[in-house]
């Protein structure tokens, strides 16, 4: 727990973030970040497509402070959607509402999303709104509900460690949801702290969403959970086109290919961009084993 809290603290430390860019290649970030440019992300997506894997790309970014930065982030998302269409890769787009100005002006954020979704609709590309910490949850779901009045190809993520996760899943019946365990440090008042409880709630919301007839993106590297989902879907005659598995770029590559070879849709989440620091620290926080990425990078220099 000390290790997890330490890395979560670092993920939010702006001073260290500003100093960390030059360390990226040395602390192993390049093993889980697919470069810094749109072109590099497209190349990685094309490479993964060749192995039967589909993708979603996420231009990393946090700490947007003003309207111009939010608009720049939205413009970058639009350019990324255009690049996906031009390259012909099988790929979606993931983004965070704070990148688009959620903490600055809700209307600004909504307008940026509308512009992004209009481009996505033109190219027939799905857009995922990544879930952030608990303080942004209600605003994210409110904006999603508003957007879905005009656009079908937009969804979000629900984090299983939250006490309210099952209720949110029920309220989002019919929505394409990415189901995850959760990557932020939250208080016991709003989130489970015990791994066993989180895992149990995770399986519960997966099954709830599938039995509701809704599309589920099951994002986990846990082979035990993956096997249980496979068994559950077979027992309940849930077709393979109603769900997909998702994993992060750079993690359990062989298992990704194995799942795809079994005929399941396997989507790889590809993060890219200069602002990789917060994402990388949260990956280190999630599992102590992930620290080996950093140690391997340091010791190889």
Q: For residue range 165-186, what is the model confidence (pLDDT) as tens digits?
A: 999 999 999 999 999 999 888 9
Same domain, 98 and 146: yes
User: Could you tell me which residue, 290 or 123, shows the higher pLDDT?
Assistant: 123
Domain check: are 257 and 297 in the same one?
no
Lowest average pLDDT, out of 24-38, 196-210, 238-252, goes to: 24-38
* CA–CA separation, 112 and 235 (whole Å): 42
**Do 291 and 221 share a structural domain?**
no
Instruction: Clarify whether residues 156 and 297 are in a common domain.
Output: no
Task: Examine the domain organization and report whether 108 and 205 are in the same domain.
Answer: yes
Kind and range of the H or E element at 210? helix 195-211
Whether the per-residue pLDDT at 280 is higher than 80: the answer is no
Domain of 300, in residue numbers = 1-33+276-301
Q: Mean pLDDT, to the nearest integer, of 247-263? A: 95
Q: What CATH number does residue 227 fall under?
A: 3.20.20.220
Residues 180, 155 within the same domain: yes
pTM for the model? 0.86
Domain count, the chain: 2
Does the pLDDT of residue 8 top 60, yes or no?
A: no
Choosing from 103, 110, 128, 130, which is the catalytic residue? 130
Residues 214 and 145 grouped into a single domain = yes
| Per-residue model confidence as pLDDT tens digits over 60-112 | 876 788 999 999 999 999 999 999 999 999 999 999 999 999 999 999 999 99
Question: Of 267, 163, 156, 138, which Cα lies nearest the Cα of 214?
Answer: 156
Distance CA 7, CA 281 (A): 6
Residues 287 and 154 in one domain: no
Q: Determine whether 178 is an active site residue.
A: yes
Model confidence band, residue 5 (pLDDT cutoffs 50, 70, 90): low
Among residues 58, 128, 168, 178, the one annotated as catalytic is 178
216 and 240, same domain (yes or no): yes
Whether 115 sits among the annotated catalytic residues: the reply is: no
**Do residue 52 and residue 25 come from a single domain?**
no
In this structure, the answer to whether residues 86 and 11 fall within a common structural domain is no
Both 296 and 249 in one domain: the answer is: no
In sign, the C-alpha dihedral spanning 185, 108, 67, 81 is positive
Percent of the chain predicted with pLDDT > 90: 75
Quick one: pLDDT at residue 62?
A: 65
Beta strands in the chain (DSSP E): 54-59, 91-95, 127-129, 154-159, 177-180, 216-219, 243-248, 266-272
Residue 273 scores a pLDDT above 70: yes
Q: Name the strand (E) or helix (H) holding 51.
A: none
């Amino acid at each position: 727990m000390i290790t997890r809290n330490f890395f979560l603290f670092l993920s939010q430390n702006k001073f260290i973030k500003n100093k960390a860019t030059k360390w990226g290649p040395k602390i192993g970030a390049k093993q889980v970040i697919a470069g810094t440019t749109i072109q590099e992300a497209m190349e990685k997506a094309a490479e993964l497509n060749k192995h039967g894997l589909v993708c979603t790309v996420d231009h990393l970014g946090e700490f947007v402070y003003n309207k111009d930065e939010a608009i720049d982030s939205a413009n970058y998302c639009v350019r990324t959607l255009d690049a996906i269409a031009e390259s012909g890769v099988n790929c979606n787009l993931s983004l965070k509402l704070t990148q688009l100005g959620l903490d600055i002006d809700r209307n600004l954020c909504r307008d940026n999303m509308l512009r992004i979704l209009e481009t996505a609709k033109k190219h027939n590309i799905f857009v995922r709104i990544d879930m952030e910490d608990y303080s942004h949850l209600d605003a994210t779901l409110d904006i999603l509900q508003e957007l879905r009045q005009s656009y079908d190809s937009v969804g979000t993520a629900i984090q299983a460690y939250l006490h309210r996760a099952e209720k949110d899943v029920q309220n989002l019946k019919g929505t394409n949801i990415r189901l995850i365990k959760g990557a932020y440090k939250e208080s016991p008042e709003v989130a489970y702290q015990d791994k066993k409880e989180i895992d149990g709630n995770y399986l519960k919301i997966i099954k709830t969403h599938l039995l509701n007839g809704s599309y589920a993106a099951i994002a986990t590297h846990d082979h035990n959970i993956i096997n249980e989902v496979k068994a559950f879907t077979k027992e309940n005659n849930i077709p393979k086109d109603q769900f997909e598995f998702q994993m992060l770029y750079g993690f359990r590559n062989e298992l990704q290919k194995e799942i795809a070879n079994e005929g399941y849709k396997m989507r790889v989440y590809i993060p890219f961009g200069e602002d990789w620091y917060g994402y990388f620290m949260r990956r280190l926080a999630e599992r102590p084993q992930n620290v080996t990425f950093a140690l391997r990078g340091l010791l190889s220099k």
